[in-house]
Amino acid sequence: MKLSELLKNVKVIANQGNIDIEIKDVNIDSRKIENGHLFIAMKGTQVDGHKFISKAIELGAVAILLEDMPEVLDEKVTYVQVTSTEEEAGKVATMFYGEPSRKLKLVGATGTNGKTTIATLLYRMFREFGHKVGLLSTVCNYINDEEVPASHTTPDPIELNSLLAKMVEAGCEYAFMECSSHAIQQHRIGGLEFVGGIFTNLTRDHLDYHKTFENYRNAKKMFFDGLPKNAFAITNADDKNGMVMVQNTKATVKTYSIKRMADFRAKILECHFEGMYLEIDGKEVGVQFIGKFNVSNLLAVYGTAIMLGKKPEEILIALSTLKSVNGRLEPIQSPDGFTAVVDYAHTPDALENVLCAIHDVLDNKGGRVITVCGAGGHRDKGKRPLMAQEAVKQSDTVILTSDNPRDEEPQAIIDDMLAGLDTTQRKKVLTITDRKEAIRTAAMMAQKGDVILVAGKGHENYQEINGVKHHFDDHEVIREIFGIK
């Protein structure tokens, strides 16, 4: 494709050289550059791509998209200057890959919690309906039934458009994706055309990156501000930021709620560890999920399917067959009569939601709740004491342990969590830095009817310590301790 075509939607400040040259591929990683490539010099949060322009040219780059022109220009190379390569990269990538998002129905889900569950359930539901479907999620990407490992919640714009193009090539009619606040802020989804957007909820998270809650909220809101007039925006009316998200959108707004009047409503009729009986828009349905937050997730899925033209009856039948996403409120029964629940909860709000769901099932039956949790290293330190407070509030015993300490000292992270507790609260807390030993101790303490919540890692099958990833799977550890396969 000619460079001039790639620049069709790009705001160019200046260019030096021939813009009608042929471009064989586009990359933001200089190490992947080969002859005939365009290199996009991104000013990232950790590395400035401008430092690798000369390396990219050595490897065969024939054009550079950049913000700062070098003092010495290579006459064999075309330089295209823009205000922000971060903003323009997505536009270039989507043109290079033939604007794949226009060739299928792309729906994005954003919010603090629930993105993975909603995107994955929509993918599974539409596969069940017989459609060819793509999924872009934290856990894994799928092109129909082909698994493509995920490295980020939302890939970089080059990888993202490449995946969408492969979905189009495979005949996908729909694609469902998580849109993280980082990806929205960094314009990774720039240039994509969405037919719909879903807002789940908003609580404290990623403040290590966004610095303030307002910045975090505004990053999420950018997604809805950018939706076109012919799209739909489905928002959670039970979240105080639900209507803020859609106040400036051009899209058709629909709401869902379990507390108030909304376009899509539900209430819980019965709740067990095996699932719930719900009433959704006046019709009863049994589902294999527990927790009020999962009712909200299922409502978002239901509403999205309605907006995509499916009939209520076929959606409810599909909902009844769907199962929980890996690492989200997954129960494992002990031979001794107590239950362990594995969940990805790694924010104060997510921890509160999961513990509320467990108490809804226990419903004063006398069982105790033992919570094993920690906090990630080199992430928002402000949420650590808040997570400890939430855990103590709804648990009989809390064991603070390691999550992914990365290259922080595990005990220092635990100390930050303990700082949120007073003397009385600390009496309910044990600290065991070794995660496996923490889970083992919880199992030794548990009695028939009790519930152990193992929170924080969910689907992850590794633990990152001193910058090295070691194999660690909460499910495997629990089954080993329980003596089951």
Q: Are residues 69 and 81 in contact, defined by beta-carbon separation less than 8 angstroms?
A: yes
Query: What's the confidence (pLDDT) of residue 211?
Result: 56
Q: Give, in order, the Cα–Cα distances in Å from 474 to each of 107, 110, 402, 462, 463.
A: 31, 26, 12, 9, 10
340 beta partners: 332, 452
Q: Are residues 63 and 3 in contact, defined by beta-carbon separation less than 8 angstroms?
A: yes
Q: How is residue 284 annotated by DSSP? A: E
Cα 388 to chain centroid, rounded? 23
Whole-number mean pLDDT of the chain?
93
**Could you report how far apart the first and last alpha carbons of the chain are, in Å?**
53
Query: What's the confidence (pLDDT) of residue 210?
Result: 46
Token reading at 352? 């509160």
Distance CA 383, CA 413 (A): 11
Q: Shortest CA distance to 384 belongs to which of 351, 354, 341, 432?
A: 351
Query: What's the confidence (pLDDT) of residue 38?
Result: 98
Q: Give, in order, the Cα–Cα distances in Å from 44 to each of 47, 152, 212, 217, 239.
A: 5, 15, 20, 21, 32
**Secondary structure string (H, E, C) spanning 48-102:** EHHHHHHHHHHCCCCEEEECCCCCCCCCCCEEEEECCHHHHHHHHHHHHCCCHHH
Tokens 């239950």: give the residue: 339
Residue ranges, the chain, pLDDT below 70: 150-154, 204-211
Sign of CA dihedral 257, 260, 266, 270: positive
Task: Report the predicted TM-score, pTM, of the whole model to 2 decimal places.
Answer: 0.81
Query: What's the confidence (pLDDT) of residue 15?
Result: 94
Query: What's the confidence (pLDDT) of residue 188?
Result: 85
**Secondary structure string (H, E, C) spanning 232-276:** EEEEECCCCCHHHHCCCCCCEEEEEECCCCCCEEEEEEEEECCEE
Q: Which residues contact 151 (CB under 8 A, 6 or more apart)?
A: none
Please give the helix or strand (H or E) that residue 479 lies within, else none. Answer: helix 474-482
> Beta-carbon neighbour count of residue 12 at 10 Å?
13
Query: What's the confidence (pLDDT) of residue 365?
Result: 78
pLDDT for 134-193, tens place per residue? 999 877 899 999 998 766 555 789 999 999 999 999 999 999 999 987 788 888 888 899
Backbone angles phi, psi at 474, to 5 degrees: -55, -40
Query: What's the confidence (pLDDT) of residue 182?
Result: 78
Q: Shortest CA distance to 195 belongs to which of 302, 284, 305, 53?
A: 305
Distance CA 289, CA 298 (A): 9
Cα-only R_g, the chain? 24
Query: What's the confidence (pLDDT) of residue 206?
Result: 47
Tokens 């997604």: give the residue: 223
Distance CA 112, CA 202 (A): 5
B/e letters for 353-366, b = 16+ CB within 10 Å, e = fewer, are: bbbebbbebbeeee
pLDDT for 106-131, tens place per residue? 999 999 889 999 999 999 999 999 99
- Region of 10 on the Ramachandran plot (φ > 0 left; ψ -120 to 50 alpha; else beta): beta
